[in-house]
Structure formats: structure tokens, C-alpha cells
Amino acid sequence: MRLFIAEKPSLGRAIAEVLPGPHKKGAGFLETGGGIVTWCFGHILEAAPPEEYDRKWAAWPGSSGDLPIVPKTWKLSPVPSAKAQLAVIRKLLGEASEIVHAGDPDREGQLLVDEVLEYLGNRKPVLRIWLSSLDEKAVRQALSGLRSNREFAAMKEAAQVRSRADWLVGMNLSRAYSIAARKNGNPVAVLSIGRVQTPTLKLVVDRDREIESFVSKDFFTVEATLEAPGGAFKTVWMPAENHPALDAAGRCIDRTVALGVANGTKAQKGILDIGKTEKSEPPPLVYALSTLTMDASKKYAMSAKEVLDTAQSLYEKKLTTYPRTDCEYLPQTQWGEAREILSALGRLPGLSSAASQADSARRSRAWNTEKVTAHHGIIPTREAGRAGGLSEKEVRIFDLVCRRYLAQFYPPFRYTETIVRTRLGGEPFQAKGTTPLDTGWKSVYGPEPDREDRKEPEPPLPALSSGDPVVARDCSVVARKTTPPSPYTDGTLVAAMKNVHRAMSNPEDKKILNETDGLGTEATRASILETLFSRGYLEKSKRAIRSTPRGRALIDAVEPIVASPVTTAVWERSLESIATGQGENSGEFLSKIVDTVSRLTKTALALRVVIPVEGKICSECGGVLRRLEGKFGPFLGCSGYPACRHLEKLPGAVSTNKRSPSRGKNTKGTRNGNSGKSGRVVRK
């Protein structure tokens, strides 16, 4: 009997639907004529907590003499809520003659099923199915191309060593900094340190402090309205780059100079010199998860987690392809499916017009097999035409993905850029204008809706020719002020994490970061942000993401190397080389991590860490009670969750249900869990 083990029930159902009948539903599995399909609920095993290695590590944060915590042999424990499903898999595994690993097509998906097989002591042959799309044709193609699971061993090794490295960092440094803070006046300090979350927090803290310390400066522009035979238009003074009145950014900061130019320009005559250049703009590449997050955040104020969850839902409904991708390109072979996908989109009311005008013979720059990584960009599937009954968020993400795909079958946006130059009283003035020639792919999107951040369009230039005489009818000085950088939003913070090299001043650091995928991966960035919010280090006001006093105190307390994006980037580069089998082995990498964590733990314990006490003290464990939003209303929950599950009613709160508030017990395993104080996976 062939046994398929899927990462989640929806993936299992997609496989079962393609297998031959008869079909029969069982408890935790589906029986088909082509084998039995069962599933996990994400990770159904989790890293064992410290106390399962040694009881001395059970107390939080424990004694400084008991650190660092370094297991000699790593252990896994079943997620409590998934024990029944693990038993189902164990029984079916005993009856099977062959296993098909059906985890998601990435490092974490590889580990997720492999660790179950290892935990249950499997010795039977294992094949691997690689699914980037769940539509029927894609599943059939994948079933016809099963490969040996041994080919993916390196991916599993990389995911496993990443998990262990994160456990070592979180367990040891979180305890060490908490102990140090408790020695320095905060008896209930519970600090959380993470390989990726702490450098990400530092990005926000640095931005907030840059905004707060920003001192606005005046600068001045000189604008002149010129009268030409074809009509009037505005120009701007363009001083030479080495003009003494300019600052480093090329702005005039001397009002006297600006007034002198304005006064000397009034009523002056000049001759126009006009340059015209025809330009084109190709359609944007198809979406990676990060670029999809940026657009959804900007257009709909969706959080990174909302975007990922919604894109995952569309994938599981077989409407779009695998979402956790860092690639914006498509393989040449995928172009052969274009007609079917365009036909499917043509059946959707909101997209039928754009789909009918798409040229299926056109091949944009997005089709480039050489630039495709493990997964191609996010696009609609051949089953997109049956989209219906979607939530508002699903409609928005689906529309973004579909229109970006449709744009690939339209010509470039073409326009003429006109630059008008003249000299008035010896000073150079300039105006710019653009004239659309062919809207091309932009017609897929239609007119942009009004947004607060949208700039006013420049007025069109009148009909002008080189040699036309002009006269300055009006000339004035416009006083402006420099503005601080904007607070991060979900979209801009994800972009900053991905392109963190741009924030580095050290050339070597910039080079290292530019060679990696930045902070985190496409699959983990959303959960990292959610962790920072849930632990009280970040907060959100409308779209703006800000650091809290607690978050700032943490960044001020930790060693620079702990909050440095370079550290995690170097680690991520090693993990990628392990996954591809082209670098150091996992044992060497983990040995380096142990040495680093041991050194950083010792340093942290010797620091004077000052963290202000905040909130009500938990009567059970001495932690801090924080306001949380539950299914039945707000309540106070312990910061020591899940080790401490104490909760209290919020004074004055009105419950929406007679039941007492719930700590939201995890009913399924989590895919990218975060370690709490006990070391178990906690909800985000």
C-alpha cells in the first residue's frame, strides 16, 4: 500500500481528488484506489523543552550557573493537540509498503514530514512529490514525476539545523538577558531574543529614533511662470551642482540667494531648448511574496500576516500557485499554460475585458528559466476561473495576482519625456513633462484610485518648440521644509528586511547582506513581525509600525552583534549552502552556533541590563500580565505563556460570551512556531 503524508489536510485532499477511486473517508485519512492519503497539521512535533533534558532547566529564567543550555542529543515531543493524528500516521505507516512525502515545496515543508518519519522509526522507501500548484493538471504532472526523497536530504538538514540554532539562541540569550535584567531592578523581566526578530526590532527602533531626532531645515526653490507662443508653463531654477548655496542633497538653503535669483529673473526673456526622448516601461515582474506584501500593504493596509494567510488560502483553494516564494520569474515551460490560464481569467467578470485583450503570444521578461529559484513567482492557476465565494481579503489578493499576470501579455507602457531648458537673466531654468504614447500594460489596472500618499500630477506642457521665445511673467521663492523619514508599515518593513543591505554603511557588511535574502525568508517574515507585536516590542497605529518602550529597552540592552543583521545574514548564507549541498555540513555549522551562543550568554550575564517594570504582576509566576484580545473579549494574560497559563478578567471589560476568556489553545501544530520560555511552540 502506498501512503501519502501531506503537510496539511487541504494538500492531502488535493492529492486524493486526483487519485483513482473508489474514495472513502477515514478518521484522519482518505482511502483511494491509488493509495491512502493522510496528513499533518503543520509541525506536529516540536523541540522538547529544556526540562526534558535536565530538570534543573525547568525554572524560568533559572540560574546563571546553569547556562548555556546545549542538548547533547536533540529530542522532539508531539504537539499535544496533534497526538491523535500522529497515532493515525503511526498505524498507517505500519501497514504501508511505500511512502510519498507530500510536504510543501520548501525547506520547512521537507523537514516537517521527514521529522515525523524519523520519529516513528520508518525504514520503508520514501518518494517525494513536489507541488508548486494544486490544480488538477499540476498534481497529475507531479504524481508522474515522483523522485527519491533522498534527493532532498540537504534541504531537511538545513531546516533542522536552522530550527536548532534558533532554539539555542532563544533559550540561552532570552534567559541570560532576563537574569541580567532581574539582577538590575526588574524582578519580573521576561525578555525574548531571536536570531531574526531582534535585528528586525532594531530596524524599527533605529527608524523611530531617526524620526524623533530629526530637525527640519528650510530650503528654497525658485519657480518662474514663462509665457511662450504656445501658452504659459512653470519652470524651476536648476543651479549648478557646485553652487555655494546648495547643501549635500542639492537643495538651496540660502534664502537671500534664492530671492536674488527670483528678482533678477522677473520680466527676463529667454529662448527655449527642448529635448524629447521616447521611453518605455515594461510590465512589472510577477509577484514574490515580499512584493505582494508591499503592494497589499500600500493599497489595502493589509498586514504581512494577513497577506501570507490569504495567499496561502488561495493556494489551498487551487486558485493561485505556491505563495512562499522569493522569485519574480517564471520558467519557459510555464508559458505553455498561458492560454489556459488566460481563458480561465476571461470567465471572471472583473477581469474578462483585460483577459480578452491579452496577447497570449507575447512573452515578457518574467519568463526566464535561469532566474527561477526553488519556486517560480505567484500566478493564477488554470482553475482560477472558478473563483467564487471569496472573502474580501481573498478578492483583493487574488485580483493583485491576476492583474500582475495579465500585464505580462501586454506591450510596454510607452511615453515621450520632454525636458524644456532656458536661461533667464543668466540663470538656468527647467521644466519636465511626459506624454503617453501607448498605455500598454497599465491599461490592465485602469485609473488609480485616489490615495492620500499619491502626488498631484504635473500639469501638461503646452505645444513648445526649440527656439521659441519666452518671457518670465511671474517669479517667486517657495519656502519648503525637509521632512523626516516615514514610520515603517508592514509593506515597507518587509521591504527593509529583504533589502537590509541598503541600511548598512560598512561596505563589507553591505556586500554580505546583498548576497543573502536579507533578514528572514519569504516564508518567515510575517511570523517574525507577529512575534514582535505579540511580545510587546512593536505596536501599530493605523498603518504605522512603532517600537514600544519595552522594545527600545531591549535593543539598548543587547550586545550589538545580537541585533546586527549581518550576524543572521551570515548564518542564512550558511543555511542556504547546506540546503544546496554546496557548503559546510550541518554539524560544523551547529558547532559554530554553540560556540557563539556560549560566548554571548556569558557576556549577557555580565551586562547591566535595565528594563523598566511594566504592567500588573502575575500572582502565579511573577511574570507581567498584559492586555490581550481573546475570542470572547479582552483579558489579562501572563507574559510567561505557555509555561504559565494564568489569566484574569480585565477590569471594566464586557465579555461577548458567558464563558471565561481562553488563552487560545493551539488546536493544530504550527508551521513556523516560536519558542516560549518552556521551549514549546507558542501561538503567534
State the catalytic residues: 322
Neighbours of 590 (CB within 10 A): 18
What gap in Å lies between CA 676 and CA 682, rounded to an integer? Answer: 6
Task: Give, for 550, the enclosing helix (H) or strand (E).
Answer: helix 549-557
| Bridge partners for 470 per DSSP | 270
What gap in Å lies between CA 613 and CA 625, rounded to an integer? Answer: 11
Type of residue at 60: W
What gap in Å lies between CA 17 and CA 13, rounded to an integer? Answer: 6
Task: Give, for 553, the enclosing helix (H) or strand (E).
Answer: helix 549-557
Question: Minimal CA–CA distance to 491: which of 523, 468, 525?
Answer: 525
Neighbours of 361 (CB within 10 A): 9
- With a CB cutoff of 8 Å and minimum separation 6, the contacts of 392 are none
| Residue 655 cell numbers, joined | 465579555
Structure-derived torsion over alpha carbons of residues 291, 292, 295, 297, reported in degrees to the nearest 10: -110
Among all chains, which residue has been given the C-alpha cell 505645444? 463
Local structure of 600: helix, strand or coil: helix
Q: Are strands 218-228 and 469-481 parallel, antiparallel or unpaired?
A: antiparallel
What gap in Å lies between CA 205 and CA 487, rounded to an integer? Answer: 10
Instruction: Compute the radius of gyration of the chain from its Cα atoms.
Output: 30
| Residue 343 cell numbers, joined | 481563458
| Residue 561 cell numbers, joined | 552583534
DSSP per residue, 281-347: EPPPPPBPHHHHHHHHHHHH---HHHHHHHHHHHHHTTSB--S------B-GGGGGGHHHHHHHHTT
What gap in Å lies between CA 33 and CA 498, rounded to an integer? Answer: 45
| Residue 366 cell numbers, joined | 518574467
Question: Minimal CA–CA distance to 589: which of 114, 244, 165?
Answer: 165
What gap in Å lies between CA 610 and CA 204, rounded to an integer? Answer: 20
Cis preceding linkage at 411, omega within 30: no
Among all chains, which residue has been given the C-alpha cell 560544523? 588
What gap in Å lies between CA 315 and CA 397, rounded to an integer? Answer: 11
| Residue 318 cell numbers, joined | 487551487
> Helix, strand, coil: what percent of the chain each, to 5?
40, 20, 40
